[in-house]
Structure 1
Amino acid sequence: MRPLRLDLEGFGAFARHASVDFSDVELFAITGPTGSGKTTLLDAVTFALYGETPRMGRKGLKALLHPGVKKAWVQLVFRLGDEVWRVTRVIAGKTEARLERQMGAEWQLSSASEKVKTLNAAVERLLGLDYDAFTRAILLPQGRFDAFLKGDSRERRELLFSLYGLAGLAGLRERAVARLGELRERLAEARTMTAHLEGVDAAAVEAAREEHKRLAEERDRRAAEIAALERELSALDELAELWQEKRTLEGRQKALEAEAEAMAEVEGWLERARAAEQALPEVRRLEDARRRLERQNRELGKKEEAYQKAKNAWERVNEAFDERLLEDLRTRAATLPLLEAKARTLAALGGATAGEGVEDYQEATYRQLESQLRAAEERRKALAEAERLRKRAAQLEKRIADLEKELAAATERRERLKEAGVELRRKLDELRQRLSAERRRADVASFRHLLRPGEPCPLCGQPVHEPPPAAQSPLAGLEAEAERLAAELEEKRGAWREAEGEIKGMRERLSDGRKQLAELREDLSRAEAVAGARGPEDVERLVARLAAMRRGLAAELERMTGGRDPETYARELRSRLAELERRAKELERAKRALDQAQEELARARERHAALAEALGPLEESVAALLGQLGFEGPEQVEAARRSPEELERLAARLASWREERAYVAKRLDEVTRSLAGKPEVDPQALRTKKERLEAAVQARAELEAQLGRLEERIDRLERDLAQKREAEKRAAELVGQVGVWEQLAEDLKGHKFPDYLLERLQLDMLARASELLFALSQHRYRFRLADGVYHVEDLWTGAVRPAKTLSGGETFLASLSLALSLSEHLSRGRLGALFLDEGFGTLDAEALELAAEVLEALPTQGRMVGVVTHVPELAQRLPARLVVEKAPQGSRVHWEG
């Protein structure tokens, strides 16, 4: 039994699931601090197999549950011969169990799983060991083998009596009496057989053997004669066959030479076809490059046409556009609000000049009336101006709010365009990376025609096992997709730039609107201040001032409008400015389109130049390759190609012809040399010798028949004689066994037999321990047993001394040999695992070093050996370590080394 995997959960110190894979380890340490669960792993193995543990038995299984869980389970996978089994046990209220055997990739449930008791019995039958024998054989008792080695015979007898399980000897006497009766019956049968064969003796057998010897000598003489004749006939047959083979070979050689011209033609076809296959990738690569250049030519023509179209459009718009006039109109348009305000002021002042005929009235009356009228008029005008400015301010505020909304929408649209552009840029970069990789792959694939099986690769230098298969390149599709994405990206960029220009214009208009709003609010403040003013004013001075203001405003308006009506002048100026603004935007759009067309044309020219530049060397390379391979042009390559089936058929035909021609020539030369100076065979002489051989063979066959009959008689006599002697021998042995069993039956009346049985078992166990000690001590020590005391023989000095005189390190080595031997003896070869818990923590530094050396040299021979220790120095010396760690949430386990 060889454990492969152990899984447990909720068992002992392991609250959470833990798994241990034993499949690829032999010698290892089970290490960890005290109380971490090292022994729990061994308990889990025995519990999985037998449903009980050495510490708890069957009744204390609930104590194996971790305090924090209500259910525990253990599963062990183990190998028996060529079979793999899995046993699972669960502790939850009552114990559940399941036994399964692996059948391919599936697990088949054993019928023994129906009841726990039945399953336990099935496991014992599989292992060939009951629970007591298993635990004694797989778990070596800790710290007891030093006492076992050096203790007295009474202590050793008690220990061996316990380990071998000899407590059930009570009913052995009855079985001994029954065995004695059986032996007595067999003794009577043996004596009857001896009496029946009384007449058979060795003299008759000897006479038959002498006759057999005479006939065998005559047969051997005949055999020698036959051998001589067979050698002569073999030589003659071989010579005749050689002459016949020569005639056949000469005829075949003529037929093969007649096919030489046809085979030369086949060889030419093959060489031409192979050259065509070698040149084909380069020819197709050249054709592909030409097609790509042609496509790029067409694309370049389209880009040039688009560029010229954009250029013509820009020139047309540019010719009809006067930038200086636009700037002049913008400057003049900036003064329109002032001009309109002055026109309104002049219109208002025109009503106030009606009082110029003031001398027709009395001065006092006039002044009083004028003062009142003037105050009322000023207030009315100020109120009207304030109301107009409020309306204008409200309009400006609404316009500013609309501009802010439009600006927000334009900004959002610009951001969406930017995100779309970034995504397109990412896709284009990824596609270009794929395109670059495919181009490199295509470049590497272009060297495929240079790869030869068994020769080094011209790129990496590694030997070529098999050239990679030719594959259809996705370059054309990737390039088209890259061009489409690049065009879409440029379109997004143009839309983003247009949106950026639109946002810039909106911001400028918004800034102008806010400035105008600020000026209007200042004018409104002044108008409101005037509307609220009180107090009389000198009419004369006021009239004169109003008249002067009117004349000044009229002169300034005439200068600003050129004598035209201000409203008409402002309307025409705004109309002309709007037209020029529209043309400016149209010119800007034409310029953007021209720049984009120019950029696309430059990229198209770069691609065209790169393709054209790469085409020249490729054409030269293909021309050189075709010339080297004997082709005048690519069209001859396609004409020279053959199907793989035809190539294989032609090559096989040519190879077969060459092979046969070479073989015929070589064999004919060999046969001719062999026949040099040898005559042809006479058929009559050959027949005569065959007749002599047949007669000799017939005579030998008759002798063989006589010998066969004589051998049967001798065999019969020998069997009878052997049966007689065997019966006599068996009778003698049975007499001895009957005496032994009579003595055993007598001995079983007291305590003699257990001592006898223990002595036999102890001698067998000590013999194996001596072999192990001899190997582990580097061929120095062997065990000796004298008067019930263990001794060791020192083969270096020849001395034999009691085991009590051994040093500490020697004692450990001898104790380990005894422990391993006893484990093997108890398990009788059924166990592929052993766990050693021998108390290494009590050893000093020297003894610990020796223990480590012994365990490192331990011959596991495919058996799994686990050493339970918490000594780090020892654990580190072993090839692998199963580390058990304590934790509040439950122990954990993992492999090291």
Structure 2
Amino acid sequence: MRPLRITMEGFASFTDRTVIDLTDVDLFALEGRTGAGKSSVIDAITFALYGRAHRYDARQVSPLLSQSCGTGFVALEFSVGDTVWRAVRVLARTKTSANTKEARLERVREDGSGKVEAASPRSVTDRVGEILGLDFDQFCKVVVLPQGAFAEFLRSTGKERADLLVEILGVDIYRVMGSAARVRNKAAQGRVDIAHARLEPLEGATPEAIKAVHAEIKGYEAADGLLAEAADDLDAIKARGTVAAQERDTATADVDAVAALAIPAGVGTLAAEAAAAKDRIGVADKARREAVAASDALESALAGMPALDRMQRVVDLRAGYQRMVEQGVALKGKAETAAQEADNAQMALDEAERVVVEAREAHEVLRATGHAHRLLAGLHAGDDCPTCQRPLDTDPAVPADDEIAAAAKLLADAEQARKAASAGRDTKVREHAALGARLTAARDEAMRAKTDVAEAEEAIPAPLRDDPGALSAALTERRAAQQQWEAARGRVRQADAALDRARSDAETLNESLASAWKAIDAARDTVSRLGAPALAREDLGADWKMLLDWAGEIMPVLTATKAAAEAKIDKVSQEYRARRQRLVEDLSAIGIHLRTDIKEDPAAAVSRVRTDAAGRIARLRADAERAEALREEVTDAQSDVELTKEVGDLLASKGFERWLIDRVVARLVVTASARLKELSGGQYSLTTDDAGEFAVIDHVNADSVRTAKSLSGGETFLTALALALALSDHVAAHSTQGTKIEALILDEGFGTLDADTLDTVAVAIEELGQSGKQVGIISHVRELTERIPHRILVTRGHDGSKATMQPSALQAA
């Protein structure tokens, strides 16, 4: 993993858009004062990848959003092998805090565009973890090396070293594993107990129990003969019972049919009501003919009168023409007044222009006089005139400046008055023109109205045209006649409605009478098989009385027949119950008992007990199989109990953690020794003494062994750096993907080192930068950063932090 480009805006102290391009940069330094924003660059890398910064709690996002910004974003382009990725996260402020509004991870194509592979904060973090094989904590330990901690680690005691390794390597995972093993042990023991509990009720599923059920089934074979014999007897009894039931049903139907005979209400008056309805039709028809005759007479009278709408049109047009004439007279007066006002306005304008001319002439005279007199200023009587060269008779008089100013003001006032008079004249001229146009339009409209009146008068009789009184009387007479005719038409409609109602009532009564005859016919049909008398069909009421008298005579005979049939059914039912009871007793004798909670058929009982026995055999066999499976489950669960107990007991021991830490230290010494030898040009290598403390072998001085506490500042830095790199490689090697980490950022307190030690540190960092890794340091020590090929200067002002690539002293040389 190698960072290529960091883009920030509205992030931490970087308010404006800032781009740090690390493409083709192997060794760089983040330089700046304390608080300038150097650590925010590292926060941008971890936030783009994992959505959090090491300095803040995982849920704290608001400190990463610039205080003056509502939104902010970070984009990190990085390479893994030959693949380039782009991680982007966007911050947004909420009412009380801030959150990650948007996140995406893109695979960058050759043309710079991106293919989105994750599009939510959680999915981006998970995908980054898959690509790098490192979680957030592992990434911070592998890429950002806490060098100060490793200098302490180098000189620490065994317990301090173990505590630091537990924190950095996450060795406490084995404690978690031990706890998990003990939890699984309890779960496995629970499975054993549950299996035993489930096995206990299955102990009765044995081969002997299955044989006993088979013997029980064999004893049911006699039931088939008992069922067959009883079926023949019961079928014969049922046949007799069916005949008796048919006789009972026929008798019941006859009794019910005769009992249902009843005369409907109102049958006796239907004929009289139908005759009365026929009479009402005649009366209504006569009234309608009289109303139609009266309406026709009025309509004929109307036809001989002038048309109502034509007379009304003449009256309306004459009134409209009169209104137009009156409006024209009024407009003419207004137009004459406007013309007079326009003439007065023109006269006022002429007067204003005259005043302007006089004021301008007076002003020009005073200006000219004042100019000439200024040439004579300072001269007195007897002095030569500068114009004619002759002596002056008297002292020259020079007009005062305030006289010229007063003349200028009079001119300005006159011009302003002329402008106002001109505007007033224009307004009056426009008003006069508008009134003239309205008067012309009114006259034209009045002429058209007069023509319309003449045309409308042609449509009415001549006597009415010249006599308004006659026209008004004719109009009143025509309206009265119209109202009389409309009233007559209303009486015709009322007569039509009355006739329709009379006909409808008569039709309804006739239908009711026909229905009443159909009803008595239907009633007789229901009892005709019993010898009901024929209907005379002359008097509906008399026919109903005859039918009901016959019903009273035959009802006792029908009732007696029904009672005899019911007695016969009772006798057959007793025989059937006795034969069925004998069958039930025979089945009970061979162990087949009918259910008492429901009425169960004997054949169904035989089928039930056989099915039940077969089911018991199937259940016994299934129980036997389940019992065998549970015994195997107990065996497997017991194995888990023993295994998890052993693992839990082992990981619960402090000796395991010490053993693991010792193995890690041994591997670190081997890897760090190789690194130290490489960084020191073969002079030093790392080992441990008999007490398990770190020591350095000085190969230049006869392989002398020196304790870590005796090392100089430069030697301590080289040794601590070698240990840090070894631990970084160890963490990366144990990641899920084994991704090669090609970037390291050294956050060391370089400010406390002397000049010789700084030189040693600089040489070591330069050699580390040539090892194929991208190496960055965070420092404000100028003597060290000037030796780095690429310097990123981080500054902070009132508008936020800036990061600019600065040429180093090496590049300048």
**TM-score, normalised with respect to structure 2:** 0.40
**TM-score, normalised with respect to structure 1:** 0.36
Higher RCO by CA contacts (8 Å cutoff, separation 6 or greater): 1
Larger Rg: 2
Please identify which structure carries the higher helix content. Answer: 1
